[in-house]
Amino acid sequence: MPFPPEAWWGWTAPLQRLVEAGGAVLVGIMLVAALLFALTLERWWYFRVTWRAERRALLRRWSARRDHASWSARTLREAWSRELVARLHRPLPWMKLLVALCPLLGLLGTVTGMIVVFDGLALSETHQARAMADGVARATLPTLTGMAVAVAGLLATTRLEVIIRRERQRLHDRLARAVEERGEEQDA
């Protein structure tokens, strides 16, 4: 047998110790972090593959139109571009929600951890400073984790917002340039 069963689960030992140290709320923070990471990867994939193809299709569709100058044509161009940019923007509110949720979950983990610490101290009737310090250190782990995930998520969300603004402007510029290029072709 090439891999004994212990080898399959041996890599989870550090993860198990982390969960034991941080409590059940830490598992929730890890799930939120995984979801946030998955949404970030999905947006990266969408931007790299799907967005570019959709943008090219919109530019071809706009260039193929005969009328570019009328009010209805400009309104149609705005509606098409707004719809395309909305697809790029779609998961951003969910990402912001998950980023805001992380510190709150961390705080919940700290509060529940402190309750466990004080409960343990009250039951043991030994008021040792060392036991209390260890308990407080373990209780603050969820807050640290929640804040770290929130900062990483905030960086990803902010970067996505910058990309959306940049791509919105590029799309409008390319649509306007397509009209100018078509006008130059017709004049020649």
What average pLDDT is seen over the chain? 84
| Percent of the chain whose predicted confidence (pLDDT) is above 90 | 44
In a domain, 9, yes or no: no
Is 15 a member of any domain?
no
Best mean pLDDT range from 19-23, 135-139, 152-156? 152-156
Using pLDDT thresholds of 50, 70 and 90, give the confidence band for residue 140. confident
- What is the domain extent for residue 125? 24-59+71-182
Length of the chain: 188
Do the domain assignments include residue 16?
A: no
What gap in Å lies between CA 29 and CA 22, rounded to an integer? 10
Q: Distances from the Cα of 66 to the Cαs of 61, 63, 110, 159, in angstroms? A: 10, 8, 64, 37
Give me the pLDDT at residue 103, please: 94
Distance between CA atoms of residues 125 and 120, nearest Å: 8
Structural domains of the chain, count = 1
- Asked if the structure places residue 6 within a domain, the reply is no
**pLDDT beyond 50 at 73:** yes
Task: Annotate 63-89 with b (16+ C-beta within 10 A) or e (fewer).
Answer: beeeebeeeeeeebbeeebeebbeebb
Q: How confident is the model at residue 146 (pLDDT cuts 50, 70, 90)?
A: very high
**pTM (two decimals):** 0.77
Tell me the C-alpha distance between 126 and 129, whole Å. Answer: 9
Specify if 188 maps to a domain: no
Whether pLDDT at 21 is above 80: no
At 20, list the tokens: 């034991």
Is position 149 within any domain? Answer: yes
What is the rounded CA–CA span in Å between residue 180 and residue 176? 6
Residue 38 lies in a domain: yes
Domain contains 187? no
